[in-house]
Structure 1
Amino acid sequence: MSDPMRPRAALRTAVVWEVLKDALDRRVKVTGTDALDVLDTGGGTGNFAVPVAKLGHRVTVVDPSPNALFALERRAAEAGAADRVRGVQGDIHGLFDVVERGGYDAVLCHGVLEYVDDPAEGVRNAVAALRPAGALSLLAAGLGGAVLARALAGHFNEARQALSDPAGRWGAGDPVPRRFTAEQLAELVADAGVEVGAVHGVRIFADLVPGVLVDTEPGALDALLKLEAAAAELPAFHSVATQLHVLGEKRG
């Protein structure tokens, strides 16, 4: 995934980026400080961490891949944000082996729950890293989007398999170990002590529209971005989104 500030990549990241940026701005006003402490679990090469750091915040990225963390360091340096980005090797299950419990104003948990053995524990750890009233940004693969994509590709048996599979997988060749419904994610977050503020569908249309159409039709990219933003908060479209984003605030 590319930098969320770049136009083409915005098709996949714009909704999350705008929601996250607004949440950080609100947190700045509440805390009365210009620089927040932000934790990005599974943040990899810094797709969100570096843009967040460019806003002036201090970002800690936890990721199991040394190569990703090396790329993160280089990316942060190129963006002039090296002094505000710190990468540490680890994962969300062993989170407090490498970071402070209750030490962050915001935690990003993007593209993590699909790959962990215990999603509920992962969410609990993400929430435990938050300060009281801290913001949680959770992004995970949506079940409905995968079912729709397989069906539109003519793989009807695989689409039906994803519907009936407890993990939402369409077969042995499925590269995603687990998918979620909006209700499942909201329940995980609520059970971990977070008040759900909003649920957004992400990549509702972007993965279905032919790339050549977006690249060649004048104004198509901007129009598609606006369509994604308009549909993101409508519950009717959550069931067909490729990804689901939950934004919440830690209770207490």
Structure 2
Amino acid sequence: MVWEVLDGAFARRAQAAGTASLDVLDTGGGTGNFAVPVARLGHRVTVVDPSPNALFALERRAAEAGVAERVRGVQGDVGGLFDVAERGGYDAVLCHGVLEYVDDPAGGLSKAVEALRPGGALSLLTAGAGGAVLARALAGHFEEARQALADPDGRWGAGDPVPRRFTVEQLTGLAGQAGLAVESVHGVRVFADLVPGGLVDNEPGALEALLALEEAAASLPAFKAVATQLHVLAVKRG
């Protein structure tokens, strides 16, 4: 779902900019799960990540995919983004799995927006608060589910490895405050993390049917509210 949304966004941005090759910044891009496929489309990608090991794996992965000349990895994080990246220098910014972990989500998102050119696209992917509540309840951890439901950061307890999760309203609110116009919001992994793996692996056609179900539910408000992840696509105003 995320990739389909991004593919369309890149195509629209390239058409608007009158170029086939965009400058893309991937904050927290790690080993290149998105960066390498984006580079395969012909775009130039800068990956900012704090982990040297992840950046080493990114370099190897890009070389194996034949896109090493279009992928550049630099060590850093969104807090010090402009120590390693150009302000206002990118047609698109990916901010995936970042806001959950930074001390100041609003400040981190503002920096990501500052990196965009006017009209540039920002892809925001975070953990969803409702998904954690549902997952804990279905696992039989009802007190933890209730705590995640009441906690402003969507945490189910002291042992929760995720510092914060977001609702749709929180994410779109942050995007608006940062100067973004939201184009779409989708729920990601609405059902996939709840379905037993053996069922998908052993039932003919189950994986394809699950993917079709995910796609059908992704934009519906009731299912976005309980998705494991939330994806927002937005454009920088001005």
TM bracket (short chain): over 0.9
TM-score (norm 2): 0.99
Distance between the aligned counterparts of 1:185 and 1:108, measured in 2? 15
Whether 1:41 aligns to 2:16 is no
Distance between the aligned counterparts of 1:228 and 1:154, measured in 2? 24
Matches within 5 A, 1:19-168: 19-168=5-154
Whether 1:202 aligns to 2:188 is yes
Output one character per residue of 1:158-188: Cα deviation in whole Å (capped at 9) or x when no partner.
0001111121110111110100000000000
* Cα displacement (A) at 1:95: 0.3
Structure 1 ranges of 4+ moved more than 6 A: none
| % identical aligned pairs | 79
- The equivalent residue for 2:219 is 233
Output one character per residue of 1:55-74: Cα deviation in whole Å (capped at 9) or x when no partner.
10000000000000000000
Distance between the aligned counterparts of 1:174 and 1:148, measured in 2? 15
* Cα displacement (A) at 1:115: 0.3
Distance between the aligned counterparts of 2:182 and 2:133, measured in 1? 26
* Cα displacement (A) at 1:109: 0.1
* Cα displacement (A) at 1:28: 1.1
Distance between the aligned counterparts of 2:78 and 2:231, measured in 1? 18
Q: 1:218 aligns with which of 194, 204, 211?
A: 204
Amino acid aligned to 2:83: D
Distance between the aligned counterparts of 2:214 and 2:116, measured in 1? 29
Distance between the aligned counterparts of 1:112 and 1:220, measured in 2? 32
* Cα displacement (A) at 1:236: 1.4
Q: 2:229 aligns with which of 243, 248, 251?
A: 243
Output one character per residue of 1:40-87: Cα deviation in whole Å (capped at 9) or x when no partner.
000000000000001100000000000000000000000001000000
* Cα displacement (A) at 1:26: 0.8
Distance between the aligned counterparts of 1:65 and 1:175, measured in 2? 18
The two structures, once aligned, show a CA RMSD in angstroms of 0.5
Distance between the aligned counterparts of 1:167 and 1:201, measured in 2? 18
Distance between the aligned counterparts of 1:26 and 1:206, measured in 2? 29
Amino acid aligned to 1:126: A
What is the DSSP-based 3-state SS (H/G/I as helix, E as strand, rest coil) of the residue aligned with 2:72?
A: strand
Corresponding pairs, count? 238
Distance between the aligned counterparts of 1:129 and 1:116, measured in 2? 17
In structure 1, stretches of 5+ residues that fail to align are 1-14
* Cα displacement (A) at 1:113: 0.3
Distance between the aligned counterparts of 1:251 and 1:124, measured in 2? 13
TM-score (norm 1): 0.94
Output one character per residue of 1:106-162: Cα deviation in whole Å (capped at 9) or x when no partner.
000000000000000011000000000000000000000000000000000000011
In structure 2, stretches of 5+ residues that fail to align are none
What is the DSSP-based 3-state SS (H/G/I as helix, E as strand, rest coil) of the residue aligned with 2:184?
A: strand
